[in-house]
Structures are given as C-alpha cells and as structure tokens.
Amino acid sequence: MQVYRLPALSDNYVFLLHDPVNNVAAVVDPAEAAPVLQQLRKLGASLIAIFNTHHHGDHVGGNTELLQHFPEAIVYGGAEDKGRIPGQQVFLQEGDRVSFGDRTAEIFFVPGHTRAHIAYYFPPTNSDEPGDLFCGDTLFAGGCGRLFEGTPSQMVNSLGKLRHLPDNTRVWCAHEYTLKNLQFALIVDSQNADLQTRLAEVQAARHRSEATVPSLLGVEKRTNPFLRWDDPALKKVVKTEDEIQAFSRLRGMKDHF
C-alpha cells in the first residue's frame, strides 16, 4: 500500500492509498475532490473506498463529487456519525476491521474532538515496516484536536488508545499544524531536550516549505504534551496532580495560544 499526501484547502492533508497490484485506490478524509481526482488520473487508478474519520466539512467536503466520478466507491465512517457524512454506507465501531489491498485496518473509537470520531490503524505486514495511523483531528504532530463535542476525559481515553501503539507507527494527521503546536509545547515543557531538537528541525523544514506529516508515534510520545498528560513535570506546570484536569488545563492553554 502506497500513501500519497495531498495538500488541500489552506492547511489540510488528504491521504490517497494506492494498491499498485490491482491499481485501485482509497482516500482518507477528502477535504475536496480536485487533488484526489488529479492523483487518480496520474495513477490511472479507480477509487473504491472513502475512509472518513469524522463529519467535519474539511474532512468530508469531497465525498459527493468523488462519488459522482466513482459511484461504486464505498463510504466508511463511524457509527455515531450516521446522517452526518455524505454518502456513508458503512458504520464502523471500535474493534471493527476494514481491508484495502494487502492491509487490514483496525478501527479505534476516539471521541473528544467530536462525539463520533474514529481512527484507522493499519498494522505493519512485517516487523521491518512501520504501521500507519490515520487519526483525523484526534492526534496531531505535536498536538491534539480541540474539544468541540467531547470531554477532556473522553479525549484522554482516546489518546491513551493511540499512545499504546508501537513507536514506529507513522502518524498521518490531517493538518499542517506542527510548528505552532511545538511552539506551544515548548512553553509548557521547556526543559525537554527532544522537544527543543524537534522544534528546530520543524522550523527548518517549514522554512523549506516541506511537510511535517507523517510523524512517528515514538517522537510524539517524547515531545507532544498531549500524550504526556501524566508526566510529573507537566502536571507541575499546570498545578494539579489529577491527570484529567492536567490534560484539560493544557488544552485550555493551547486554545488561547
């Protein structure tokens, strides 16, 4: 399975999954149809699946147009999003599996950003390869999504599920927010040498107009404060020993950053 990262809108990424053996494709969170159709033409491939993580317009905005071009494509989304995702035909729950090419993804129910958010995790086919996590707006490189429909407790539980995945998992998050996320992270985690190094690398990459997605989950575990809500140093910064409250205060600080 080949993954193509397609820029869309102002700062979105759409991910096109390509099975070169059968020359078919799937797309994750098509914010708009045009970049997807352009890549499909380059590959000469047919679209057979749309994998949505949640209902927001910058993740499903291309569904209807893509279905006009590929009416046989199957639209997947979370069961709790029924009625909110254009063209949805499959309603996924925690522990369900979906297959594409030679890979099978496990579904994680990860509410917080929305009440119905899901993530797709494709484990590696062998130990020498990374897994692939398509997490929408739940986990970002250096950050996490805002809590629009969920609670801090839900988001901690959701991020906890993702935090347990292997370190070499590639994190395909849906926005280029990394630089600002890490600038905030350094405020609350100023003594983190790994974070300092990462921020410098991301600053250089963005200066060259390079994408910072995907990141690696192992890097996120060391440098993303929203995967480290239980770290004593961070709890000291936000002045609480309660882990949910610590996360909530971190998220509140980021909302006003």
What are the catalytic residues?
Answer: 54, 56, 58-59, 113, 137, 175
Q: Which two tokens stand for residue 79?
A: 């069961």
Alpha-carbon distance of 20 to 83, in angstroms, equals 33
Q: Which two tokens stand for residue 144?
A: 């996490």
Give the residue carrying structure tokens 């998992």.
169
Going from the C-alpha of 29 to that of each of 32, 72, 192, the distances in angstroms are: 9, 18, 33
Best CA proximity match to 206, nearest among 167, 170, 177: 177
Going from the C-alpha of 239 to that of each of 156, 243, 245, 253, the distances in angstroms are: 18, 11, 9, 13
